[in-house]
């Protein structure tokens, strides 16, 4: 059974860690019979009317839970994780929903609203009527981003993976077939919609952060020469010619 755990507003502007790192570290608290599938960062509206720490993003941890009866335990562990790791001055929020939860469509719609307009806690509570939503300090505004993170991630077409398998271990160059073997689809944004071949090389710039598309991680690339592709979501841009020369 898939479970979505949304975290938001657990850090402060001068912190050495953000909500994304807190979400990734939740894997260490998982019980037996539960495994991490991935962690997705969701970008919400950046607006002067919205109080946020740095980028107004929230994070959703996606879990695979063997026993549906274990959902209550996941909620308790997530709340304890926030309690042990949030920073004073933040406004933490938590949202937890199973894939079969009623109202996930409404939560997804709420998440989309959070990307384009200012919303409030009342709207978050209304959208999350069928799932767990709780504030854990401060103003409680973190419930807005936590609910949005779950809704957008469950919808399957929004967000960027910050944890998924070997995400942080890929070298500068990797073959398409190796990424696909680890369940990361490689899709070209080339105008002609060319298809990357299994033996083609992808310049990753050591920053593989696939998008969530169709409910799965997808690495978007563009052509960088014959048999070569460039990761368009790379954090740093290297000279493509230098990478192609190494193929």
Same domain assignment for residues 142 and 224: no
Alpha carbon distance 197, 66 (integer Å): 36
Q: What is the pTM of this model?
A: 0.90
Do 209 and 95 share a structural domain?
no
What is the dihedral angle through the alpha carbons of 106, 184, 58, 135, rounded to the nearest 10 degrees?
70
Instruction: Kindly give the parts of the chain with pLDDT less than 70.
Output: 11-16, 47-54, 236-247
pLDDT of residue 203: 95
- Domain with 57 in it: what CATH number? 3.30.70.2200
- 33 and 87 together in one domain: yes
What's the pLDDT at 12?
Answer: 65
Q: Say yes or no: 87 and 179 in one domain.
A: no
Examine the fold and report which residue of 162, 186, 210 is the final residue of a domain before the chain moves on: 162
Q: Within this chain, do residues 182 and 132 fall inside the same structural domain, yes or no? A: no
Distance CA 242, CA 36 (A): 36
Number of structural domains, the chain? 2
58 and 179 assigned to the same domain: no
**What is the residue range of 226's domain?**
170-244
Please indicate, yes or no, whether residues 131 and 239 belong to a single structural domain of this protein.
no
Domain boundary among 127, 162, 197: 162
82 and 148, same domain (yes or no): yes
> Distance between the two ends of the chain, CA-based, in angstroms?
42
Phi, psi (deg, nearest 5) at residue 35: -135, 155
Residue 184's nearest CA partner among 216, 231, 228, 161 is 216
Whether 70 contacts 119, CB under 8 Å: no
Give the pLDDT confidence score for residue 246 in this predicted structure. Answer: 44
Domain boundary among 162, 178, 209: 162
The verdict on 146 and 231 lying in the same domain is no
Same-domain pairing of 63 and 7: yes
Q: Are residues 19 and 74 in the same domain?
A: yes
Q: Cβ distance 194 to 229 under 8 Å?
A: no
What the block records as the tokens of 19 is 């909500």
Please tell me the predicted confidence (pLDDT) of residue 178.
97
Is 39 in the same domain as 155?
A: yes
């Amino acid at each position: 059974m898939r479970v979505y755990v949304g975290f938001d507003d657990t850090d402060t502007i001068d912190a050495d860690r953000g909500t994304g790192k807190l979400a990734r570290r939740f894997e260490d608290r998982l019980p037996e019979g539960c495994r991490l599938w991935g962690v997705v960062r969701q970008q919400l509206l950046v607006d002067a009317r919205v109080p946020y720490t740095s980028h107004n993003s929230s994070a959703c941890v996606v879990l695979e839970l063997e026993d549906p009866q274990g959902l209550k335990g996941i909620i308790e562990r997530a709340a304890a994780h926030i309690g042990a790791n949030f920073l004073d001055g933040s406004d933490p929020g938590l949202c937890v929903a199973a894939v079969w939860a009623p109202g996930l469509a409404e939560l997804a719609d709420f998440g989309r609203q959070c990307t384009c307009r200012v919303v409030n806690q009342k709207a978050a509570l209304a959208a999350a009527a069928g799932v767990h939503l709780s504030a854990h300090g401060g103003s409680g505004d973190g419930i807005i981003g936590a609910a949005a993170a779950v809704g957008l991630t469950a919808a399957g077409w929004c967000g960027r993976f910050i944890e998924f398998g070997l995400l942080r271990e890929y070298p500068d160059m990797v073959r398409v077939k190796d990424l696909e073997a680890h369940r990361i689809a490689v899709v070209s944004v080339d105008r002609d919609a060319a298809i990357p071949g299994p033996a083609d090389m992808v310049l990753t710039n050591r920053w593989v952060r696939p998008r969530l598309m169709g409910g799965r991680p997808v690495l978007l690339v563009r052509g960088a020469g014959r048999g070569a592709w460039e990761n368009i979501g790379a954090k740093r841009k290297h000279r493509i010619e230098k990478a192609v020369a190494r193929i």
